[in-house]
Each structure stands twice: as structure tokens, then as C-alpha cells.
Structure 1
Amino acid sequence: MNSFERYLGILQGQRVDFLPRLPILMQFAAEYIGSNYGEFASDYHALVEANARCAEDFGMDQLSAISDPFRETQGFGAEIVYVKDGVPRCPHPPLEASKELATLVRPNPLQSERMLDRVKAIQSFKERFDGQYSILGWIEGPTAEATDLRSMSNFFVDLIEDKPFAAKLMDLCVEVGVEFAKAQIDAGADTIGIGDAAASQVSPRVYQKLILPRQKRLIQAVKDLGAFVRLHICGNITHLLPGIAELNIDILDVDHSVDMAAVRQALGKKVVLAGNIDPVSGVLRGTPATIRETMVKTYHTVGNPYMITAGCEIPSGTPVDNLKALCEPIPCRP
């Protein structure tokens, strides 16, 4: 059973040889091949090579095109500044001082520089590893992209003081997200990751009324295009679980601040849970023995269906033996 068969088997409710491993690697992966975060985020060749090497050396089951949250943002017309050893930055969100949506450039995934770079990464994965590994594309969720365009503080004020504008902006983000997802699926992605970290910071009422309907629309559109959906919301999402249970997702990444038993109770057995060891205290500062113990304990708590990953990105500086321990095969139980 190869990596793709293992991954697909879990999603289809089958028993496989052992649990799929899909840690999120960005700066770690870049440095592992002697590159840096700036190159990883700006040149798909570096991203592809870093993911391929890590998959082979650590036993990962998914190749990922995630790099940073500003792919679509650049497509909307924003300036993106690359940082050698850090996440790219957007110094001036295009709607920071304006609510005029008409001033935004309409992104084209096959022409916008950074969106096309991600599409090319997917194409390269497909050409080199078709049928061997799962291929993960990535888009920003409606809350995350709206904050990238408007700034976090401005958009959160909008959610309170100008709900019609906030809704209209997120609607635009959903439209672009669907188009970007389609381009990546057409290029060979079998799964689309949706990052919507900012959603963890809103109240259940705001989430239910303004954000959940747009997440539903985005997720269903991706599913209709034939891909699986992996939802990633950093932070404590306990208060959002009743709404998340309504989403038609296949995989939910769970951060370390959330009780995995509560997530399983809320979502039942229809969603694959992934996580949720602390990336810093558990992986970066842990030991191979404690990492193995934590993952086995977590699997015992949530049962099937489950996949192995940390609560978020594996940090730069993580000892190689620690990541190897995270990716050690854990047999899939009946």
C-alpha cells in the first residue's frame, strides 16, 4: 500500500496498514534542503523539492503546496515582500484605508504571479508523483482572505459595525477561492486545504451568521469540483464546533489548544481528525519517546478516522529525530 492508497483508504472508511502522516512543513522543509523560507514561498521549484525530499526521508503521505497566506492577496493587487527566514509580508493591505471593492484587481489564478506559482507546484507534483502521494492544494478561507485584504483590526470592526460590507467582501473572497481551487484541482490536486485561522477569533454568533454560510458555500464548491477538503483553523475552535459540524469537510486539522475528545463528540465519525500535538512544546522541544507516546494516546482518544499531524506547522529548528518520530507508522486499528 503506497501513500496515496493509504490516504484514500482512510477517507473512504477502509482499514489501511497504518495511519497517514501529513504534517505541515514550510520553513522546516526549506531549510532541510539548504534553502530558505523566502525562496520556498517565491519559487515553486524550491517548494516542490523540499516537500518531495521530506516525504521521502520522513515517510510523509501528502505533498503540500502551502507556503503562506498571501497568494490570493497578491492577485488582488497587493505588494508582497519576501523575507529570507520568515513568512512573506503584506505591508499595505489593499483595502486598509478603503472599502471600495472596485479598486481591487480581479485575480486570475493562471495569470496572477503568486497564484500561478502555486498552480505550477501542483502540476510538478502531479508530473513526478501521480498516484504515489496525495497532493494538497491550498486556498484562504473567507475570513482569512478578508483580513489579508482589509487588515485584521479593520475587518473585525467591520464584522461589528458594517456587516453588509464584511459580507460582500467575504463573498468576493469565496468567489476567488473557488476559482483558485479549480485551477489547482485541474492541475492535479486531490485535496484542497482551506486556511481560515481568523475565524477562531470571532464569537459563535458572528460565526454562525456571517462566516459559516460562506465557508459552507466555499467547501461545497470545492467538493463539487471533485476534491477532498481539509479545513485548517489555527487556535481554539471549541466554541465553533457546533457550526463546524455542519460543514461538509473530509479532514479537520485540530490545534493543540482544543480537546480532541470534544471534537470527536461534536463531529462524530464522518470527519477525519488530524492533530493535535503542540508543535512547539510537543514536537520542537519534545523527545522521540514523548512524541510517539502522545500520538498513540491521541489516536486512542479519538479512534478512527484519524491522520497524523501536529496542531499546526512543524517549527524551524525541530530535531530531525523528532519529526521522524512524529511520522513513525502507527498501525490502523479496526
Structure 2
Amino acid sequence: MGKDLILKTLRHEKVDGIPWVPFAGVHAGILKGYTAKEILVDGDKLFESLMEVNKMYTPDGMPVMFDLQIEAEIMGCELLWAEDNPPSVVAHPYSGDKVIPCKCKIPKKTDGRIPMVLDVMHRLKEEIGDQVALYGLICGPVTLASHIRGSEFFMDIIKDKEFAAQMVEFCAEVCIAMSNYYIEAGMDVIGVVDPIISQISPKAIEKLFLDSFTAVFDNIKSQGVLSSFFVCGDATIQMDVMCRTHADGISVDENVNIAEAKKITDQYGIAMGGNIPLTTVMLFGNQQDNMKYVVEMLDNISHENLIVSPGCDMPYSVPIENTIACVQAVKQTDDVREMIKNYEAVDDTIDVDLPDYDHLERPLIEAFTLDAATCAACTYMVKAALLAKEEFGDKVDVMEYKYTIKEDIARTKKMGVEHLPSLYINGELKWSSIIPSREELLAVVGPLI
């Protein structure tokens, strides 16, 4: 049974297959003709869509809700909604004055959209809970801190380490409360989703935030429930410290070489999950591309302590047949390997022209992202770039290139961008997977004005 595959893998037991977890967050809506916003605010539509995910993608495990803004919304963040993406945070209630929220701000199970999510969890548990491992996803403490504090949080890490640690400690209490609600609703796995971690140095994580993460995962473990630590972006150098948070598994996206990362998680006896590319393969590829990626991944990595999944929340418009191709590659690997043995991917890269960086009229800041609308780390990288626009106005140009747009993918490749998000100034890489503080950014841009 699929559920047993997930639970045994996260318990690091021997299994007779490779578990498959489609992160069909907002993508679930397209299966029933609903927008992203509809399934994120309407429990009946969410439930209906998730039942279709179970029917079409035969998951061993699946998330109930993939929205990292639930907690932030309750705590006063203003959200910008979209029809084909989760909402993004556009206003931060704790920017400005340095104030740690009081404990009364910790979300209650009756607040915001939590009652809707809990209801859907109960309904799914009753319908498919004996067959599929259900994941309750919560916003991780560092990402939540950046949501409620804004870009100033990254300055706090440099200028006021004690305050940054206290803010994350409070957010960890929010995580513990949310975990408890989801565990009571019958979730088999609690996923702590913290994309911003890839933007923080391992040294800072260890000194300032490790105790908070450990408290979250220890609380989950104390209740007999399994856990997974989700990260987005290039978290290669953060892998070791992430393994010391007491999580049962770690899940990474396409920025991380999963085979190399798994060597680290194997040393700690932790399960590894990931990392089918979201756009170049799942969104813009064909069935053979998806099969080829999964088969080659499985042929180059040990299957013990492994869960195959998309790199993160699947884009809304991923073709259904591409996801089904992934299922086939995981569940019928030998047959699929034979099917694609002579397949060669077609190079359909669009030709793009790069700016003449030596003859720009004004400084040009280029943010290369997965998509600031869906990736929290990318959101704050773009916001960092826009700080220069706020400071210098029309004296500087700012552009975002998204890995969800074919032309932007081609530009990203032509520029030789290795990791997302990255920030370039006048064609030169300045920050790769590390979000600059306001002072750092202005110190680089200012002399160019």
C-alpha cells in the first residue's frame, strides 16, 4: 500500500518500492476546472480537486494544502491573490519598529482559513487516509519571520542577531501550534516548508535558528508523527545543518544535485525527497522528457531512503499527461526505460539578445528567479532589487526574469545563471542564492549612479 511506502521510508525501514508524492498544490484545481484561488478558499472545491489528484496521479503520499501564507495572513500580512498561483505577501505588519509579536498572535484553530483546511483534512482522512499518507504543510519559522518582518529581516540577521533569533523563536511557536492542529486532524506527515533557508548561511542557521527548528521537529516526533523539511533554491551548503534539525526527511528542488545531497542525508539516516524540475521538464517538457528525467535520476541514486516528487509546488498549468508520465516512470521504471531508450530531447531553446552591458544608460539590476509570485526566496530577492528602485528611482532599471517563461529560461541559460534566485548588476553576478540587505545592495549600486 502506498501509505506504508511513505511511512516506512521516513522511518528508514526497508521497502519494496519507491514512494511517489506529487506536490499538486494549486495544480490540483486545474484537474476540476477551478482557479488557484478557488481551491485555496473553498473547502469543497479543494476536497473535490484533491480526490481527483488521488484518482489520476495514484500518489503514495500527498499534501492537503500547499499555501505558505495561511499563517502570515492571520498574523496581519496583506496578500496579493492570483488565479494560477498561491497568494504572495505584499505587506508586512512587523516591518519598521523591532517588535516580537506577543503569544496572543499565535494562530488559533478557529482563525483565518485554518477551519477550512482542518475540515478538508478530516474528510480526506476518512475517504483515503488508509491508502495515502496525508501531508500537512506549515510555513517554516524563517520564511514566516520574513513574511511578517519583510526584507528588514535579512538586515536583522546581520545587524541584530539576537532580535532575529527571537523572531524565529516566536515563529517556531506558531509552527508548533499549526503542527498540533494538523496532527489532531490526522495528518501522517508534517512538512515544514521553509524556502528562505537556502538564502541564509549555514553558520547563521546553526547559531541563530537551529534550536528553533529542532524544537519544531522534536514536538512533531514526540506525538509519534513523521516529518519532512522542505527547502527551495540552492540549499547545497545548508544540507548538513538541515540534517541536524531532527527532521525525518528533507525535500529539495532542482537547484540541488539530489545524488550529491543524498550522500549527506544518508550519513544522517534521513530520507531524501525530490526533485523533478518544475518548469523545464514538468511544465514545458513532454511525456518522454518527464520519463527520461525520472528514470535517469533513479538510475543514478540509491533507492533506499528515497521519495520521488516534483521539486516543489507544481505549476498550475503542468500538463496532466506529464505528471502521469512521472507516475509511470516511478512505478514501472524498467518498462519506461525501454520505452525511452532511443529518445533524445529536442532543443527548442529560443534565441534571445542580451543587453549591451558595456553601454548601458543607467545601472541595470536583473533578478533571475523561479517566479517571485510563487517562490518565497525569489520574492525577497526581487524585493531586495526593488529597494534600489525606491532609493534611486529612474536612475536605475530593475528586471525580473522568471523560470516559468520560455524566453526567460533561454535568457537565464544564455547568461550562465547556475542558481535561482540570483541577482546580477550590469551583467555581473553579485548575489547567488543569498538575499542582500538594503545596505549591501545600495553600497554596490550607489557608486554606479
Shared fold per TM-score greater than 0.5: yes
For 2:33, the equivalent position in structure 1 comes to 34
Q: Could you list the runs of 5+ residues in structure 1 that have no partner in the other structure?
A: none
Task: Kindly state the Cα deviation for residue 71 of structure 1 after the two structures are TM-superposed.
Answer: 1.1
Task: Kindly state the Cα deviation for residue 15 of structure 1 after the two structures are TM-superposed.
Answer: 4.4
Distance 2:184 2:140 in 1: 20
The partner residue of 1:255 within 229, 253, 256 is 253
For 2:317, the equivalent position in structure 1 comes to 317
Counterpart AA for 1:290:
D
For 2:162, the equivalent position in structure 1 comes to 164
Distance 1:35 1:228 in 2: 31
Residue 17 to residue 85, structure 1, CA distance change in 2 (3 Å): same
Decide whether the 8 Å contact of 2:78 with 2:90 is kept in 1. yes
Q: Map of 1:10-25 to 2, 5 A cutoff?
A: 10-25=9-24
1:99 aligns with 2:103: no
For 1:148, the equivalent position in structure 2 comes to 147
Distance 1:86 1:294 in 2: 25
| Larger Rg, first or second structure (1 or 2) | 2
For 1:73, the equivalent position in structure 2 comes to 72
For 2:191, the equivalent position in structure 1 comes to 193
Task: Kindly state the Cα deviation for residue 128 of structure 1 after the two structures are TM-superposed.
Answer: 1.8
Task: Kindly state the Cα deviation for residue 332 of structure 1 after the two structures are TM-superposed.
Answer: 9.1
Distance 1:113 1:195 in 2: 19
Counterpart AA for 1:171:
E
Counterpart AA for 2:10:
L
Decide whether the 8 Å contact of 2:3 with 2:60 is kept in 1. yes
Decide whether the 8 Å contact of 2:106 with 2:173 is kept in 1. no
Task: Kindly state the Cα deviation for residue 95 of structure 1 after the two structures are TM-superposed.
Answer: 0.5
For 2:326, the equivalent position in structure 1 comes to 326
1:211 aligns with 2:209: yes
Name which of structure 1's ranges 188-197 and 303-312 shifts more when overlaid on structure 2. 303-312
Task: Kindly state the Cα deviation for residue 105 of structure 1 after the two structures are TM-superposed.
Answer: 5.2
For 1:139, the equivalent position in structure 2 comes to 138
- The structure, 1 or 2, with the larger RCO (C-alpha pairs under 8 Å, 6+ apart) is 1
Distance 1:136 1:87 in 2: 18
Decide whether the 8 Å contact of 2:228 with 2:251 is kept in 1. yes
Task: Kindly state the Cα deviation for residue 331 of structure 1 after the two structures are TM-superposed.
Answer: 6.0
Name which of structure 1's ranges 120-129 and 323-332 shifts more when overlaid on structure 2. 323-332
Q: Which runs of 4+ in 1 moved over 6 A?
A: none
Decide whether the 8 Å contact of 1:52 with 1:63 is kept in 2. no
**TM-score scaled by length of structure 2:** 0.70
> Cα deviations across residues 172-200 of structure 1 (Å, max 9, x unaligned)?
11111101101110110010011111110
For 1:286, the equivalent position in structure 2 comes to 285
For 2:266, the equivalent position in structure 1 comes to 268
Task: Kindly state the Cα deviation for residue 324 of structure 1 after the two structures are TM-superposed.
Answer: 0.2
Q: Could you list the runs of 5+ residues in structure 2 that have no partner in the other structure?
A: 335-449
Distance 2:306 2:7 in 1: 12
Residue 43 to residue 98, structure 1, CA distance change in 2 (3 Å): farther
Residue 316 to residue 12, structure 1, CA distance change in 2 (3 Å): same
Residue 166 to residue 13, structure 1, CA distance change in 2 (3 Å): closer
Identity %: 24
Residue 176 to residue 247, structure 1, CA distance change in 2 (3 Å): same
For 2:374, the equivalent position in structure 1 comes to none
